Amino acid sequence: MPHEVTAIFESYRDAFNALDGRAVAELYAEPSGIAQDGVYTHWSSRASVEQNMTALCQLYQKRGFVRATFEPGQFLDQGPNHAVADLLWRIEWTGEQAPWQFNTSYNLLRTGDGWRVLLCTAYTEAALFSPTKHSAA
């Protein structure tokens, strides 16, 4: 994965580690979207991304979020302005909660502000939110 692409995910990780939904949203293109659990959600504005990411950060905080880390996976260069990156995420929690590990892929778009997420595909995350998975939630 090229350094400039890894750098956007380092910023993404850092924004989540600060539980700053607005900073996460700034790394998304406008418009953008998420595919999760067989459903596509279109975000027509950065404000709608920010609302979603802020809610996710609040959920993480309530669950005892400590930090997120990632390992770069597959990378598909699609010319000078497009790419697809797959990451293995690990989220650590307080107490005796087991860390979450899941993969997410990102369709990226190069903008005047650099690489931005055009589409996030959360394809192994659904099971993490199962109430039986984390009784401490």
Domain harbouring 101, CATH code? 3.10.450.50
Structure confidence at residue 125 (pLDDT): 67
Residuewise pLDDT in 10s, the chain (137 residues): 999 999 999 999 999 999 999 999 999 999 999 998 889 999 999 999 999 999 999 999 999 999 999 999 999 999 999 999 999 999 999 999 899 999 999 999 999 999 999 999 998 766 555 554 433 32
**Spatial strand order in the sheet of 114-122:** 39-43, 28-36, 114-122, 100-111, 82-93, 65-77
Does residue 137 form part of some domain? no
Does residue 50 form part of some domain? yes
Structure confidence at residue 128 (pLDDT): 59
Range of the domain at 63: 3-129
Does residue 25 form part of some domain? yes
Residues in Cβ contact with 86 at an 8 Å cutoff, skipping those fewer than 6 apart: 73, 74, 75, 103, 104, 105, 106
Does residue 134 form part of some domain? no
Q: Residue 109 pairs with which residues in a beta bridge?
A: 82, 116
Q: Residue 111 pairs with which residues in a beta bridge?
A: 114
Tally of structural domains, the chain? 1
Structure confidence at residue 135 (pLDDT): 30
SS3 101: strand
Structure confidence at residue 137 (pLDDT): 28
Structure confidence at residue 66 (pLDDT): 97
